[in-house]
Structure 1
Amino acid sequence: MTFANVGTLGVQPGKRDEVVAILTRPNPQLSEAGCLLYEVGVNQDNPDTVFVAELWTSADAHRASLQLDSVRAAIQEAMPLLTGEMGGSQFTVSGSPLRD
């Protein structure tokens, strides 16, 4: 079953673009680990928030990705720029009109 993780990250004032730069660095290990989609975005109405939408082959693949050296390094680099405010949802995807 496909697994989705959609969330928000609160960032320190003025640090949003730095967090976006960290999260959007090319990382081929993500696709090798089972990541089907990893999109990072911003909303001008929420200048201190970064939005992330992830689609994975499974919840286990998502969990395992958190042990990758490249992912752990990105998390460690981003942590000082975050406020600790995080939100979002995780769910098992039931289907999509865009793919089989």
Structure 2
Amino acid sequence: MTVNHGFHAVMTAQPGRGDELVALLLDAPSLPNEDCVVFLVSRSGANPDVIWLAEGWTSQQAHTAFFASEPAQAFVAKLQPLLAGESQYSDAVPVGGKPAF
């Protein structure tokens, strides 16, 4: 599938809660979604509470529809208490590469 919409997010967990944030992200309801083509969770080597997320979707409409769903809204509600402040987002459309795992 082709990625036509994507973004990078940088999230900072509440102090000492980076592991919980990573675990929650890796259990995200978008992972089994066929329109979510890229879902990559990374973390800072210097600060384990800083997490990067890269997502790639078949379309902006598919992304919007997914995040309007009940499972996605429940996921966001679980995510919010783990975060320290606002996440930073930038648009990005993956164009190639290879998985590291």
Q: TM-score range by the shorter chain?
A: 0.7 to 0.9
Label 1:57 to 1:46 Cα distance change in 2 as closer, same or farther (>3 A): same
Q: Provide structure 2 residue ranges, at least 5 long, that are not aligned to the other structure.
A: none
Q: Any idea what SS the aligned residue of 2:73 has?
A: helix
Kindly report structure 1 stretches of 4+ aligned residues shifted beyond 4 Å.
none
Contact 1:9 1:82 in 2 (8 A): yes
**Which of 18, 22, 46 in structure 1 is aligned with 2:20?**
18
TM-score by length of 1: 0.79
- Aligned match of 2:79: 78
| 1:92 shift after superposition | 4.6
> How large is the Cα RMSD of the aligned pairs?
2.2
**Corresponding residue for 2:61?**
60
Q: Equivalent residue of 1:83, what SS?
A: coil
Q: Give distance in 2, aligned partners of 1:41 and 1:97.
A: 16
| Corresponding residue number in structure 2 for 1:90 | 91
Q: How many angstroms apart in 2 are the aligned matches of 1:14 and 1:72?
A: 25
Q: Call closer, same or farther: CA 1:24–1:85 in 2, change over 3 Å.
A: same
Identical positions, percent: 30
Contact 2:6 2:54 in 1 (8 A): yes
Bigger proportion of residues as strand? 1
